[in-house]
Amino acid sequence: MEKFEHEYGADQIQVLEGLEAVRKRPGMYIGSVSVRGLHHLVYEIVDNAVDEALAGYCKNINVTIEPGNIISVEDDGRGIPVDIHPKTGISAAETVYTVLHAGGKFGGDSGYKVSGGLHGVGSSVVNALSNWTEVTIQRDGGIFQMSFEKGKTVKKLERIGDSNKTGTKVRFLADDTIFETLEYEYEVLENRFREMAFLTKGLKISIEDKRQEDIKKAEFCFEGGLVSFVEYLNKNKEKLHQQPIYIEKNGEVPVEIAIQYTSAYSENIYTFVNNINTIEGGTHLEGFKRALTKVFNDYARNHNILKEKDANLQGEDIREGITAVVSVKVKEPQFEGQTKTKLGNSEVTGIVQSMVNEALATFLEENPQVAKAILEKCISASRAREAARKARELVRKKTSMEGATLPGKLADCSSKNPEECEVYIVEGDSAGGSAKQGRDRKYQAILPLWGKMLNVEKSRADKIYGNDKLQPVILAIGAGIGADFDITKIRYGKVIIMADADVDGSHIRTLLLTFFFRYMRPLIENGNVYLAQPPLYKLSKKGMEDIYCYTDEDLANRFKELEEKGIQRDQLGIQRYKGLGEMNPDQLWETTMDPKTRILIKVTMEDAIKADEIFTILMGDEIGPRRAFIEENAKYVKNLDV
Ligand code: 2B7
């Protein structure tokens, strides 16, 4: 690991702002006070430890969720400096934890803050938003400790013992008066630390969840770095070449890339800047794509795989089936885009492009077998694209001839303003009938679907356009698919999947989500896709209004409430709904469709990597992982939604 020498003491830290501001507007600093914001606290602390690893001084990071949702993070780096600032009389360590923006000065001119997050203000923000924080530092032959409550120092840094080791340990309990919940999700943290370990070759990160008797734990350390990352992403896929292609260059902008092609039809490129997942891409991705297109076309021409008469392969042909991870380190990254996850630094395009041009061209010359396997696939992708174009034109012609672009089964709404319109995609004819009668005609459209769907994981775009199940969905939404998809053309602001809570329902839900994920991804990214949640139970009693319960927990709570009012279980009529078809139009409206009372689950793409893995497992060729996954199916929507 490279070392960035950097000497400084307490006097370089500027006192800027109190932590009250953070407690007043926590959202400004960690995004939200939901469970997502809660997890951010952990990332902020771990980021500091990862920075110490990137500086070349830390090899191990241990994260523990202790009973009571206390987080403990320990590293074996140099330990935060403990010397006293001559003017303020406060130790460097205390400054880092109590002064907002202390980190800015730390990272400032010489080294650069490499891992993500709040650029060194993380520790003070976490401290401000914690009920209590305890920091233990080993360095300079001693053990030092300090503690805080809601950001305020309650025990100043004090030497409590001797030690010949070095490192930092931080324990904190998030403030329950600030966060909606303190329940960490082990899987979410595990995924994040796996990703971080992939991105920092050789760093060992362990996580342990001690909140329950059977302790969950995992340990991640990848000597292969990004190569291990793409192998992991492709573990359930059929590869076109065994060894991932690996490119690394440590110049002004360090670039690291791993690529492996599979027989899949999708394109999966994950990009990172300073270890932050740049979901919206940006200039690094642009440079990578340009180089890929140029190198493969040049190679194909030079080796007569593309003849003179043939047209060039297009970027999308060359990216079919690719899995790649692109990681760059940029000193002053500019983040743009809706979610501030798009790299804007224009100089990065050329840097990435010329380095990939050179390294990839060399690789292909040295590995003609791999080049051939990939190019065969690209060429068949380009043929399929041509076929798809023709199929699409046919659809367009057909629809323009008939004068109506809408599918026959669609019961459209009367409003034409997408912002207020929604379409329910409903499984089965009987439920579709109830939905049509129960809906609010002005805003709600109903599109019934039935029968088994095409498995899009195994199909190319030409089949999708021609498919009689998916065509109505494409036409109803009205914004095209794949590279043609244009989110500004969607006819409904909400696309709501309404299916039963049984196996068939879950199948259709998964198929539709796979389809949206692969062919209308912006729809998910933009937050337009929802799952309707029909009730599982109805409780009724003479003289009492019917009560609908949406989960088993809900049901248990209602029982308790009613018991307190003196109503016992055996006095109630309890109906368990097996399907949407059992509800009459009024009930369906009241429980599942009325915007005032219904529960909708928004499908988000926050964790696209996880989602892709789920789809691959559910839809791919390997049966073992699929079965294992289905047994755990209940978690599925939850994972998507975190
Ligand atoms: C920008 C601030 C936050 N810091 C240091 C040095 C080491 C170090 C840290 C850390 C989290 C939980 C265990 C630098 C940097 C403060 O200045 S923070 N290690 N680990 C950490 O927070 N882990 C440092 C130069 C010389 N010696 C030590």
Please tell me which residue, 338 or 373, carries the higher pLDDT value: 373
73 and 211 fall within a common domain: yes
331 and 411 fall within a common domain: no
Residue 62 located in a structural domain:
yes
49 and 188 fall within a common domain: yes
Residue 577 located in a structural domain:
no
Instruction: Determine how many CB atoms are found less than 10 A away from the CB of residue 456.
Output: 24
427 in active site: yes
Query: What residues form DSSP beta bridges with 218?
Result: 207
Q: Which of 44-48, 372-376, 466-470, 614-618 has the lowest mean pLDDT?
A: 614-618
Task: Work out the average pLDDT over 137-145.
Answer: 98
Q: What is the CATH number of the domain that holds 267?
A: 3.30.230.10
Residue 394 located in a structural domain:
no
Give the domain range for residue 627. Answer: 404-534+601-636
552 in active site: no
At 290 the pLDDT is 98
Domain-terminating residue out of 168, 192, 220 = 220
231 and 294 fall within a common domain: yes
Residue 566 located in a structural domain:
no
132 and 216 fall within a common domain: yes
How far lies 107's CA from each of 1, 48, 135, 354, 563, in Å?
19, 11, 20, 29, 60
Residues 6+ apart with CB under 8 A from 69: 173, 174, 182, 183, 184, 211
Separation of alpha carbons 507 and 520, rounded Å? 19
173 and 235 fall within a common domain: no
Domain-terminating residue out of 335, 354, 384 = 384
Q: pLDDT tier at 621 (50, 70, 90 boundaries)?
A: low
At 120 the pLDDT is 58
Residue 540 located in a structural domain:
no
Tell me: pLDDT of 299 over 60.
yes
Contact 47, 116 (CB under 8 A): yes
361 and 410 fall within a common domain: no
106 and 209 fall within a common domain: yes
85 and 214 fall within a common domain: yes
Separation of alpha carbons 365 and 300, rounded Å? 11
At 468 the pLDDT is 75
Separation of alpha carbons 613 and 626, rounded Å? 11
Tell me: pLDDT of 105 over 80.
no
Q: What is the CATH number of the domain that holds 47?
A: 3.30.565.10
Q: Which of 50-59, 103-112, 399-408, 533-542 has the lowest mean pLDDT?
A: 103-112
Tens digits of per-residue pLDDT, 622-642?
Answer: 666 666 655 554 343 433 332
Contact 577, 546 (CB under 8 A): no
78 and 185 fall within a common domain: yes
Of the residues 484, 504, 563, 586, only one is catalytic, namely 504
Task: Work out the average pLDDT over 199-219.
Answer: 97
Please tell me which residue, 613 or 436, carries the higher pLDDT value: 436
Residue 258 located in a structural domain:
yes
Please name the residue whose Cα sits nearest to atom 20 of ligand 1. Answer: 49
What are φ and ψ of residue 358, in 5° steps? -70, -50
Torsion of CA 14, 16, 18, 19, to 10 degrees: -80
Task: Work out the average pLDDT over 598-607.
Answer: 78
Please tell me which residue, 105 or 338, carries the higher pLDDT value: 338
Of the residues 427, 462, 525, 612, only one is catalytic, namely 427
Q: Amino acid identity, residue 543?
A: G
Got the DSSP string for 321-385?
TEEEEEEE--SS--EETTTT-EE--THHHHHHHHHHHHHHHHHHHH-HHHHHHHHHHHHHHHHHH
Spacing of C-alpha 357 from chain mean position:
30
Question: What is the number of residues in the chain?
Answer: 642
Residue 468 located in a structural domain:
yes
Q: Which of 117-131, 339-353, 522-536 has the lowest mean pLDDT?
A: 117-131
Q: Which two tokens stand for residue 3?
A: 């070392």
At 500 the pLDDT is 83
Tell me: pLDDT of 483 over 80.
no
Domain-terminating residue out of 220, 240, 256 = 220
Contact 540, 573 (CB under 8 A): yes
Tell me: pLDDT of 244 over 70.
yes
502 in active site: yes
Please name the residue whose Cα sits nearest to atom 8 of ligand 1. Answer: 80
How far lies 482's CA from each of 267, 286, 464, 522, in Å?
11, 18, 10, 10
At 406 the pLDDT is 83
Number of H helices, E strands in the chain: 22, 23
Tens digits of per-residue pLDDT, 85-103?
Answer: 777 789 999 999 998 865 4
* CA 26 – ligand 1 centroid, Å: 23
480 and 443 fall within a common domain: yes
Got the DSSP string for 36-77?
HHHHHHHHHHHHHHHHHHHTT---EEEEEEETTTEEEEEE-S
* CA 104 – ligand 1 centroid, Å: 13
* Residues above pLDDT 70, as percent of the chain: 84
Residues 6+ apart with CB under 8 A from 551: 536
Around ligand 1, the residues with Cβ closer than 6 Å are 6, 45, 48-49, 52, 73-75, 77-78, 80-81, 96, 103, 106-107, 120, 123, 168-170
630 and 522 fall within a common domain: yes
Domain count of the fold of the chain: 3
How far lies 517's CA from each of 528, 533, 573, in Å?
12, 20, 41
Average pLDDT, the chain: 86
- 3-class DSSP assignment, residue 178: coil
Of the residues 412, 500, 590, 607, only one is catalytic, namely 500
- 3-class DSSP assignment, residue 541: strand
Contact 484, 439 (CB under 8 A): no
3-state SS, one letter per residue, for 294-305: HHHHHHHHHCCC
* CA 77 – ligand 1 centroid, Å: 7
Residue 569 located in a structural domain:
no
